[in-house]
Amino acid sequence: MNTYGRTVPALVALVVATGLAPAAAATADPVSVPVVAQSLLDRSPSDDQLRGLTGVQLAAVAVRCAEFDGSTYCLHLGWEESTPTAEELAARVLAAQEPDLGDGVAEPSLAAGLAEWAAKPFADRFAEEQAELREALEALGKVRYFAYAADEQELPADFHQKYPEVAQWETAPPDEPVERAAGVRNVIAASRTMKQPNGYYCGPTTMAIMAWNDPSGDRGHSTSTWASRLGTTRNGTSITNMVRVTNRHLTWDNRVGAYVTLSIARYTNTQFRNVYKRHIDRGAPVILHPRWTANLNPFGRTTGGHFDVGAGYDFSSGRDLINIAEPAWSGTPNMFKTSTANVLTAQKQNTAFKNIGV
């Protein structure tokens, strides 16, 4: 049972059963409905409430957070380490989106993403939030699993009973990586990497690399195909869509559960290394979401918000290197290695989105 006295499947079922309007939801049995989860949907803003808002004001009414079993989920942001303060949220909305490595930016700003959502009819907005919350609750076990992994804590004795969906992959032997040696693991083949064709295609190219290396075989590595699925524009790709498309079109989740958008804003190097290593050891790549500066990468360039594939690591004796399939790298293969500290610093430099896809 979780914090609200329901198993995760029961929570999900109740959220799915909720009607497409808060007024209808309010008539549900107050004993059986998970109150905190339902309250997020009940507070979905109306058309009148959204009219004429600035980006900061829009975020204040759109981004709603709740705690589930010790982890915090925020609609329109993902899994956060805590509910952002009004000041923190405003700073993320106002964070500048700098041009990436060519003629565009890698991702829409938080303000732009919220504005696009706000422009839709109420029923569509509410349905999107309902689906987002359902997917978040389905992945709660994985989020809790990596919370323990970050701090190298043993799982509670009842963890697999509480989250049986995690037991399906966490207790199974991991699949063999592409490369395995003492302290070395790689799940992406160097020969199956590529360079992004323009400045705003790092998201589709990251997805194409993951598709090319998919455990079930090449799922199609045309960047234009993935751009269409991701909804990529000249404003880039959102991390939310990166995670959603990974789960819908690729099979890495069979090894490590459905991918989630997970904040790393307060991670130490050790916590980040622990989560990254555990994910790679399960045989699945990490969707990195950095803002590179020239001092942190061998290609000597600065990016806006960017996407890479966390392809593996070299933690052999005396080494602390993360292997990255880099769409912006002009060399062949499109891969480089840098320290855990550099990768985490680059992630935290992405001011509006200090998160990864795991």
pLDDT given at position 325: 96
Q: Do 194 and 119 reside in the same domain of the chain?
A: no
Q: Do 184 and 287 reside in the same domain of the chain?
A: yes
166 belongs to a structural domain: no
217 belongs to a structural domain: yes
Strands (E), 23-92: 65-68, 71-74, 78-80
pLDDT given at position 5: 33
Q: Do 228 and 112 reside in the same domain of the chain?
A: no
Q: Do 209 and 118 reside in the same domain of the chain?
A: no
User: pLDDT (tens digit, 9 = 90+) per residue, 221-249?
Assistant: 999 999 999 999 988 899 999 999 999 99
CATH number at residue 346: 3.90.70.10
pLDDT mean over 241-267: 96
**DSSP H helical ranges for 250-310:** 253-256, 269-281
* CA Rg value for the chain: 20
pLDDT over 70 for what percent of the chain? 88
User: pLDDT (tens digit, 9 = 90+) per residue, 297-308?
Assistant: 887 878 888 999
Using the predicted structure, report yes or no on whether residue 25 has a pLDDT greater than 50: no
Domain of 46?
8-143
Using the predicted structure, report yes or no on whether residue 54 has a pLDDT greater than 60: yes
1 belongs to a structural domain: no
168 belongs to a structural domain: no
**What is the C-alpha separation between 186 and 280, in angstroms, rounded?**
7
Task: Specify the long-range contacts of residues 73-77, CB closer than 8 Å, at least 24 apart.
Answer: 73/133, 73/136, 75/40, 75/129, 75/132, 75/133, 76/110, 76/113, 76/114, 76/117, 76/132, 76/240, 77/261, 77/263, 77/355
Question: Tokens representing 287?
Answer: 């969707």
Enumerate the β-bridge partners of residue 324. Answer: 310, 336
Q: Do 180 and 92 reside in the same domain of the chain?
A: no
Q: Do 210 and 332 reside in the same domain of the chain?
A: yes
Q: Do 185 and 121 reside in the same domain of the chain?
A: no
Inter-residue contact 264 to 355 (CB < 8 Å): yes
Q: Do 178 and 283 reside in the same domain of the chain?
A: yes
Question: Tokens representing 279?
Answer: 């994910």
DSSP letters, 279-296, are HHHTT--EEE-----GGG
155 belongs to a structural domain: no
The total domain count for the chain is 2
Q: Of 133, 35, 37, which Cα lies nearest the Cα of 78? A: 133
Q: Which residues neighbour 210 within 8 Å (Cβ) at sequence distance 6 or greater?
A: 188, 246, 250, 252, 285, 287, 309
Q: Of 357, 354, 268, which Cα lies nearest the Cα of 91? A: 354
198 belongs to a structural domain: yes
Q: Do 55 and 189 reside in the same domain of the chain?
A: no
Q: Do 105 and 214 reside in the same domain of the chain?
A: no
231 belongs to a structural domain: yes
Among residues 91, 122, 143, which one ends one of the domains?
143
**What is the C-alpha separation between 303 and 202, in angstroms, rounded?**
11
Q: Do 181 and 139 reside in the same domain of the chain?
A: no
Average pLDDT of the chain, as a whole number: 87
Q: Do 106 and 234 reside in the same domain of the chain?
A: no
329 belongs to a structural domain: yes
CB-CB neighbours of 161 under 10 Å:
11
Helices 340-348, 269-281: inter-axial angle, 10-degree rounding: 110
pTM of the model: 0.88
